[in-house]
Structure formats: structure tokens, C-alpha cells
Structure 1
Amino acid sequence: MNPLNFPWLHPFLMSVYPVLGLYQANLYQVLPQETYLPFLFSVILCLCFFLIYTVITRKLRISAVLTSISLYLFFSYGHLEKFIKQPLLIYLLFGGLIFTAARKLKYVKNTDKLHFWTNIFSLVLVAIPLVQVINYQLRIKVDFSGESVSTVVTRAVSAEKLPDIYFIIFDRYASADSLKKEFDYDLSPFTDYLKGKNFFIASKSWANYTSSAHSLTATLNMDYLDNPLDAGMKESQDWLPLYRMLENNRIQAELKKLGYKYYHFGDWWWPTGKNRHADENVNLNVLSEFSAILVNNSALKPLAEKFRLPLLDYRYTQWRRIRYKFDKLKEIPVEPRPTFVFAHMLVPHEPFVFRQDGSFLPLAEDSARSYKTKYLDQIEYLNREVIKLTDKFLEDKSNPPIIIFQADEGPYPEAYEADKQEFDWSEASQKEIALKMSILNAVYLPGEDYKNLKEDFSPVNNFRLVKAFLYGQEPELLPDLYQLTNMGKPYDYYRYDRQ
């Protein structure tokens, strides 16, 4: 028998294609292991379709064709949704196409030719992304670790005197100035509260980079990224070396050597979802970002949203995750060992899942509200939670902690949102750059007067300041630099001269 006439080949290939295609489209930002669960789900779905159609038609060859059609339609839902807004109409369309195909197939006497061409079509579909994936995997990748940036400190400090350290990132939390200019929002009640608790508010602080990956990597390694990443990397599209630097960051290694217990609070973005160096990872792990995108493009999406399925509705899961992490953060101060807490909170980052009072924002309500209203609702909710969290952190007066509340980037300007892959920051307006780079940056050091800090103090120096405080030394601060990139060329920096 000609292998290309084999009826079970194309259903398998059609189950593989959606996952492989999505992986190829995100090749430079996703690890292969992120695809394992989606591949398993897709193959199981293929078997379910095949069994259902076999029971109905009692013809294996016809069932195989209907399975391939169903898989193709199932994972095409997200594309059709852009043109047909009612899920019921899409379901009716799918049902009509499958019913019509089943009726036509009843009259096909020799299915070998049909299976031959369906297999050819499926092989071509799979081959296109597969060639690119194999080519990428065979290429030599540059591997950087955080420890290559600088020598790890081994100096001993008494663990009994070490304060807890809380580094909490609120992704895309704009500065007070940006909130006033762009959103007509007064942040002063919140910042006044922090100042009253002896926080230093770097009110004119800018992120050192435009993306979370760059900004967090620079902050946690206490250095700029152009030195380890400039050799032959300018044209690279590969984000994975940067993600490895983020995971193997210098500050967690140094603090663990001093006796700190490392808590890592992750989110849905996989580079910070968990950290293998952490003593304890805290996250509400349901679906990875990659799996969530696959579900969001499939016919499961409206069902997941309507019934708030914990395994599938990524918006409802994110609402639960943020609340869960705030609750867990309040438990950390009772830990007897000195602790270093890294917490990446993807809020006010989209998806906007909070109403102003902290309750869940359903998708239908989300669609009816403006971006400004939704963004400010996240800010209002966050501010109340941060105040409660700060009060909890500062309960112990005998050994108060070090606290950093920081954003890693500001909100996206509309022009950048529309063309993240190729956006040219050298052509951007000062207003667009300021919106993207202006961030919340608040630091609490027990008993400090912050006399040497300036309002434009930037995050690359946050942990240089922390280290100097721990050792009773003057901080060796780097000059504040601002480097902008797009998603297509993450190492092709445009250095902005801030006036």
C-alpha cells in the first residue's frame, strides 16, 4: 500500500500542525518543552474526533477525513472570530461544513485518491514550519548566564542581621507624571502614603529598556546588557539567551550565598513563570502562555469564557492568580530565615481582569469599556493591595525589610502596539518614548535618608543600592542609560539621550 494513501496519516499531521505552526511563529521566545502539553492535547483531541465519527459512520476511512476537517476548523476559530463576532454563527458554520462533507463522502467509492491528496496537503502544512524549527535548533546558540556579567560576591554577612528583601514588579505601571499627562489621574494619595512610610519615590525614573525581559535582566544583574550581548547579536531575533540571563541572574546567586531563602512568585509569562534556582516557586500554574494562546485560537475559547473554566479561561485564571499571590506575599514575613522575594505581577499589564473594586471583569464588560478606564481600574485595585501589603511587611519593627516596588516598562504607545516587530524608536516622538519608559520606582531602605539619590534614579541601580546597604558601603552606581528595541530585533538598541 502506498504510504500516501494511508488514511490515518493526515489526521495525525493535522493534530500536530496547529501546535507546530504556533511554535514556529514564536520560535525565538518559546522553549520546546512548552509545546509538550499542547501536542498531547491535540493528539488526544484527534483520537476523540476519530472515535466519535467512527461510531456515527462506522467507516474508518470516512472518519479519518472528517477528523482532519474537524481539527482544521477547530483550530481556525480564532481567525474566523475576527470576521464573525458571534460564536454561535461560527459553530453553525463548522457544523454545516462537517455535515456537508459527511454527506458528500458517502458517495465516494474509492477513497485512496482522496487520502493521497489530503496526506500531501497535510505534509506540506507541517513541512513549512518544521523546516524552520529544525534549522533553528541546529544553529549554534550563544549562551549567557547572569554570573558571566560579574563576579559573585562570597563575603560573609551574619544571617541574623539580614533584612528580608521584597522585589515586586508591577508590569506597565506608569509613573505619576505619565498617569497625570496621559490618563488625567492623580497618583499623589498613593505616593504620599509611601513617602509617609519612608519610601524613596524616584518620581522621574525611567526603565532602562523597553521590554520586561531586558529591564528585569538588567535590574537583577545590576548591569547593562550591551556588554555580554553585543558580539554578533545585533541582527539576532533569538530571545532565549536573554531569558537564560534572566533566570541565572546575579542577585539571586549572591543573596543565596549570604543565606537568603529565595521565593519566586511567577506569572503567566513563562520566562518568569518559575525559576529553577528558587527555594520555592509560587504561582497558580494552570496553562502556560503558549498553551493559553493555542486555546484562545481554538473553538474552546467561548466555552472557557462563558463557564470560566479554570483550566482554559486565561483571563479568569489571571484574576485568581494575582489575588492568590497577594495572599501568599502576606505570609512571607513569618518565615524565620532571611528571605529574598521576587514577585512579577502582570498587572496593570493586559489582560485587564479587575474592576476597580477588585472583582472580576467579564469579557463582555471589558469590550464595552475604554482602555483608559480599564487601565485605571487596575491601578486603583493595585494601590489598595500595595498599601495593605506594605503595612504587613513593616509590622516587624525590630528588623524591617528592604522593599522595592517597581515597574519594568510603561504602557505601550499606540504606534508601537501596532508594529512591535519593526517599530523604529528613532522615529518616535518624545511623548511616545516617555510613555513607554516612565515607570513607578519606589525603594524602602530601613532608616535611610536617601540623600544621595536623585528623582531620575533608574532600576539598573536598585540592587547596587541594596547591596551597598547590606554591606554598609557607598553604592557604586552606574550612569542612567535608556535603550529601546523592538520585538523583531531585541539586541539592536537605540540609545535615547534623555533631556
Structure 2
Amino acid sequence: MKKRLAKIFAAPWYFAAFAIYPPLALIAYNSAEMRPAEGMRALLLSLLAALVLFGLLRLAFGSKQRAALTVSLWLLLFYSYGHACNLVSKQWDVPHLAAWMGGLWLVLAGAATGWLARRRTRVRKAAPALNLVALGLVVTSAAQVIIWTAPYSGSVADDHADVQTLTVPAGETPPDIYYIIVDSYGRSDLLQRSFKIDNTEFIQNLEEMGFYVAECSQSNYNRTEVSLASSLNMDYLQNLDDAYQPPSIGRGRLWDSISHSAVRADLEGAGYKTVAFATGFPWTEITDADAFLAPSPLWSQMTSFETLLLRTTPLRHLEDTGSINLDEIDGQRFRQRTELIFDNMDDLAQMPGPKFVFIHILPPHPPFVYAPDGSWTDPAAFLNDDRLYTGASYTKGYRNQVAYINGQLEAALQTLLDESPTPPVIIVQGDHGPWLQNGSGKFMILNAYHLPGHNDLLYPAISPVNTFRLVLDTYLGGDYPLLDDISYYSPTPDIYNFSLVPNPCLDR
């Protein structure tokens, strides 16, 4: 056994592991923002390129050991380039940084290749140690991905979620239920104070359609996946599962609790079908819904992960030459998913029911890709040199997209109301407040309800945790008493380390 292991580790396969590691490490680092599958194409292409280079260099050098070491050094230089550029640019203002860094990296690559091509001493002894290092890096990153995103197998993800047997009252037609999340859409008073947005006309239009707008509503949590896991399971996370306690930072079960929620289980048990849309964010994509609508995939279209990985390499300078606009590639996918939702409102209204439709609309959340009239904007124009939003640029982009979304929402909601055979239940809700806010501003949300015949049950400070408690009790005979409306803040990455946040609106 020892001899077999020694033979395996003497072979120079470490270059292949080093080719896998950079994409895999980036997947692990961004596990909270993506599905691992989004990075598989880049990982496989990296591995394939390394294998091709290894084959060519083995022929050129007549040595697989030298070929493996050369490929590994090239990979190190290739994938470290972007990080080195970022580090230098943050420390010093270097004119023509791309030329200097590109020249330095070429010199390093050439020197290493020449040294290995001419070197007479054997490099075989390096293989076991390099194999061990490469294997350790890959295993560590793979473990991180598994810990963060491992799914939970079960009809309802959370151990303590309250699933009930619901029934439609005799002689009544169950209403379609639309749960429309408008990401980071703030409450009117916050929009006026922080963004100088007068949202009076939009709110009045909602009220004229028959909506009740909760004027003191706050989200229960300050980030999307935590907020939705709570609202779709009708309870606070602290009560739903022991996994949602510090020091845990894993999100696999959390994400699963959104796609396999108590609300979905209740409604499907009562004969509802589930309809959902692609969002680009794994935690809000219910891919196993009865109907899951997504833009047609294009193999040629880069994923968000691939644009991120590209920026860690010398290929980032394709942007500088105008050969490619990575932000616009991301923005185009963002637009496709947004417009798919609004383009399908007629079909949704006429789709046979009863149905539970979960819609996550990303704007006004960045990237900022829409002007107020719906024309396209360049998302890169709102980012500074460090690829961050300033207060001014975020405000401009947010104002643009609120104006655009308001018009789209009004038309979409009117379509649902006009074309649905039975008056539908519609909830239009922010999952949390806008970015760059302090204190309770992170939680102030739009929260509007169309509950046919029952708007009188609503109240100004109703929060998302009580949304479906009220809906299911009212229309399907549920027994879900209302909870206290409470807001909890948690930092990144300690997303389960909760602290209370007051609702100052209640003190007016």
C-alpha cells in the first residue's frame, strides 16, 4: 500500500490540481452568492487548457516533470495577475500599470520557462510535495463549498416549520396567490428622506387598485436569503432550526428552506401549483417548481462567475481595449431575467389555478442597468475604480431603477387584476431596505397587500413574518396566530448572530 501511494505521489499530476484550484477557490469564496454549477465550465476549461499545455511542453522538453512544473508556474502567474494588479493599485498610483505588470509577468514566465528548459538537475523530487500541496488546496476548497451549500433532503427544510393541512371552504374558488419580492425596495418615507424620491403617486395608484400599503412596515431581517426563509416559513429563523445559530455560517439549509418552505408545502397540500422564475441568485430560484421560467440558456454567454474569474487574469485587459464589457454582459443577463417576468404577466393571469406564484424582481437592487424610461444604462458607469458604489452613484442608480420598476409594476399588477378569473391575492414586498442605510433604514420596506374582501385585517406595522400567517388563515382555514413584528440585524459572514433593531415608526 505504501509503495502504491509513493508511486502515485511521485507522478507529476499536481499541475492538474493547480488548474482546478483557482476556479474552485473562487467558487468557495462566493458560495453565498452562487450555485457551484455556475463555475463548472470555467473549472473544466482551466483543466483542459492545463492538460493541453502539459502535453505540448512534455513533447518540447522530453520530460513530464519539467512540463508539469512549467505549467504550474504559468498557472500561478495567470491566476495571480489580477489580484496583484488590485493590490498594487490600492497601494500606489502607478501610471500605465497594465503595461508594467504585463511586462513583469511575461519576464517572470519567460525566465521560469527558460530555467526549467535548460536546468540539468532533476526536478522529480519536487513532485510528492507539490502533489500534497495541490491536493490539500483542492480538498480544502471543495470542503468549503460542501459546507456552505450542501442541500437538505426533505419536503420541508426546517425542522420546526409548522406545516398544516389546509382546505378551501366549500363552494369557494381558491384565489391565486402572487408573492412578489422587489429587492431592496424601501418604504416611502425612507425613499423621500434618503433618495429624494416622492413615491406618493405610485402608492396612490396601488391604493386605487385595491392595495393596502403598510406605512410602518419593516423587514424582519436585513438580507435577502434570511428574510425570505423567515417569511416563507412564517416564523423567525431562531425558532425554525437549530442550524440557524452562531457560530454557524452555512447557507445550504437556509437556501433549501426557501425552495422547500412551509408556505409551499401548505399550498401544494391544498392543491396549488407552484410557479417561479429564474433570478440569477441560487437561494431564490425554486427550480423544482411545477413551472420554472428562465431565459433560454446560451452556451456562448458568460456567467457572472466567469466574468469574475476573468478579472483575476491578464484577460481583464480585454475590457481596457474595448474588446469586451464584462459589466454589460452581467447587465444583459439581469435585464433578460427582469423582462421575462413582466413579459409573462398575461400568461400568468390566464394559467389554470389555483397557483402560488413566487416572483423575485431584482431591480432596484444593483447592477444599475435601467434608466427611468427603461432604456439601458451601462452598469460600469456607477462603479468607482475600486468597483464600489459611492453614495452619489448608488443614489442615482437606485432612483433610476425605482422609477422604471414603478411603471412596470403598475402595469403588471393591473394585468393580474384585470385578467385573473378569480380576484387574486397579491403581495408586493421588499425583502429589506436599500443599501448604504443605517439602523432601521436597512429594514424599511414597501409592503403592499391585495387581499380581496379582507384588507381590513391588515395594520400599518405588519411585517413579512406575518404575511402568510394572515393569508393562509383568511383564505384556507389555517391556524397561524400572528407573531410580534420584530426586526433583527446580522453582519456578514455571521448571518445568524442576530441583534434587535427597533421600529421608530411606531413611536410617532
TM value normalised by structure 2: 0.81
- The answer to whether the 8 Å contact 1:237/1:490 transfers is yes
Aligned-partner Cα distance in 1 for 2:442–2:273: 34
The aligned counterpart of 1:242 is 254
Secondary structure in 2 matching 1:405: strand
Identity %: 27
The aligned counterpart of 2:439 is 433
Match runs of 1:378-397 below 5 Å:
378-396=401-419
Given candidates 29, 47, 51, the residue that maps to 2:51 is 47
- The answer to whether the 8 Å contact 1:292/1:312 transfers is no
AA of the residue aligned to 1:492 = N
Aligned-partner Cα distance in 1 for 2:138–2:264: 37
The aligned counterpart of 2:167 is 155
- The answer to whether the 8 Å contact 2:78/2:313 transfers is yes
Measured at CA, do residues 268 and 80 of structure 1 come closer, stay the same or move farther in structure 2, by a change above 3 Å?
farther
The aligned counterpart of 2:112 is 101
Aligned-partner Cα distance in 1 for 2:244–2:330: 38
The aligned counterpart of 1:422 is none
Aligned-partner Cα distance in 2 for 1:10–1:27: 25
Aligned-partner Cα distance in 1 for 2:319–2:355: 38
Is 1:20 the counterpart of 2:27? The answer is no
- The answer to whether the 8 Å contact 2:346/2:419 transfers is no
The aligned counterpart of 2:80 is 76
Match runs of 1:443-482 below 5 Å:
443-448=449-454, 450-471=455-476, 476-482=481-487
Measured at CA, do residues 264 and 323 of structure 1 come closer, stay the same or move farther in structure 2, by a change above 3 Å?
same
Secondary structure in 2 matching 1:337: coil
Secondary structure in 2 matching 1:221: coil
CA deviation profile, 1:304-328 (whole Å, cap 9, x unmatched): 8956689993333222222223223
- The answer to whether the 8 Å contact 1:208/1:483 transfers is yes
1:356 offset after TM fit, Å? 3.0
AA of the residue aligned to 2:458 = L
Aligned-partner Cα distance in 2 for 1:485–1:441: 21
Match runs of 1:342-353 below 5 Å:
342-353=358-369
- The answer to whether the 8 Å contact 1:268/1:288 transfers is no
- The answer to whether the 8 Å contact 1:75/1:298 transfers is yes
The aligned counterpart of 2:394 is 371
AA of the residue aligned to 2:395 = K
> Structure 1 unaligned runs (5+)?
415-431
1:42 offset after TM fit, Å? 2.5
> Structure 2 unaligned runs (5+)?
1-5, 90-95, 385-391
1:359 offset after TM fit, Å? 3.2
The aligned counterpart of 1:168 is 180
Aligned-partner Cα distance in 1 for 2:226–2:113: 52
Measured at CA, do residues 128 and 401 of structure 1 come closer, stay the same or move farther in structure 2, by a change above 3 Å?
same
Secondary structure in 1 matching 2:456: coil
Aligned-partner Cα distance in 2 for 1:294–1:378: 28
The aligned counterpart of 2:492 is 487
Moved more, 64-73 or 305-314: 305-314
Measured at CA, do residues 474 and 487 of structure 1 come closer, stay the same or move farther in structure 2, by a change above 3 Å?
same
Secondary structure in 2 matching 1:82: helix
Measured at CA, do residues 134 and 231 of structure 1 come closer, stay the same or move farther in structure 2, by a change above 3 Å?
closer
AA of the residue aligned to 1:39 = L
Aligned-partner Cα distance in 2 for 1:199–1:236: 39
Aligned-partner Cα distance in 2 for 1:283–1:116: 52
Match runs of 1:157-236 below 5 Å:
157=169, 161-230=173-242, 233-236=245-248
Match runs of 1:232-271 below 5 Å:
233-271=245-283
1:207 offset after TM fit, Å? 0.4
CA deviation profile, 1:448-474 (whole Å, cap 9, x unmatched): 4x2332222111111122223324789
1:496 offset after TM fit, Å? 2.5
1:131 offset after TM fit, Å? 4.4
- The answer to whether the 8 Å contact 1:17/1:126 transfers is no
AA of the residue aligned to 2:24 = L
Aligned-partner Cα distance in 2 for 1:317–1:159: 45
1:391 offset after TM fit, Å? 2.0
Moved more, 384-393 or 369-378: 369-378
The aligned counterpart of 2:432 is 409
Aligned-partner Cα distance in 2 for 1:116–1:358: 62
- The answer to whether the 8 Å contact 1:266/1:345 transfers is no
CA deviation profile, 1:154-211 (whole Å, cap 9, x unmatched): 4245797122221111111111111111111111121121111111111221000111
- The answer to whether the 8 Å contact 1:167/1:342 transfers is yes
Moved more, 20-29 or 339-348: 20-29
- The answer to whether the 8 Å contact 2:147/2:252 transfers is no
Aligned-partner Cα distance in 1 for 2:306–2:373: 30
- The answer to whether the 8 Å contact 2:382/2:397 transfers is yes
Aligned-partner Cα distance in 2 for 1:242–1:56: 51
CA RMSD of aligned residues (A): 3.7
Is 1:399 the counterpart of 2:404? The answer is no
Measured at CA, do residues 134 and 183 of structure 1 come closer, stay the same or move farther in structure 2, by a change above 3 Å?
closer
The aligned counterpart of 1:283 is 294
Measured at CA, do residues 44 and 163 of structure 1 come closer, stay the same or move farther in structure 2, by a change above 3 Å?
same
Measured at CA, do residues 459 and 253 of structure 1 come closer, stay the same or move farther in structure 2, by a change above 3 Å?
same
Secondary structure in 1 matching 2:236: coil
AA of the residue aligned to 1:43 = L
AA of the residue aligned to 2:442 = K
Measured at CA, do residues 79 and 148 of structure 1 come closer, stay the same or move farther in structure 2, by a change above 3 Å?
same
Match runs of 1:117-132 below 5 Å:
117=126, 120-121=129-130, 123-124=132-133, 126-128=135-137, 130-131=139-140
Moved more, 13-22 or 139-148: 139-148
1:296 offset after TM fit, Å? 4.7
- The answer to whether the 8 Å contact 1:13/1:123 transfers is no
Match runs of 1:316-335 below 5 Å:
316-335=332-351
CA deviation profile, 1:337-361 (whole Å, cap 9, x unmatched): 3221111222222222223332333
Secondary structure in 2 matching 1:404: strand
The aligned counterpart of 1:429 is none
Secondary structure in 1 matching 2:374: coil
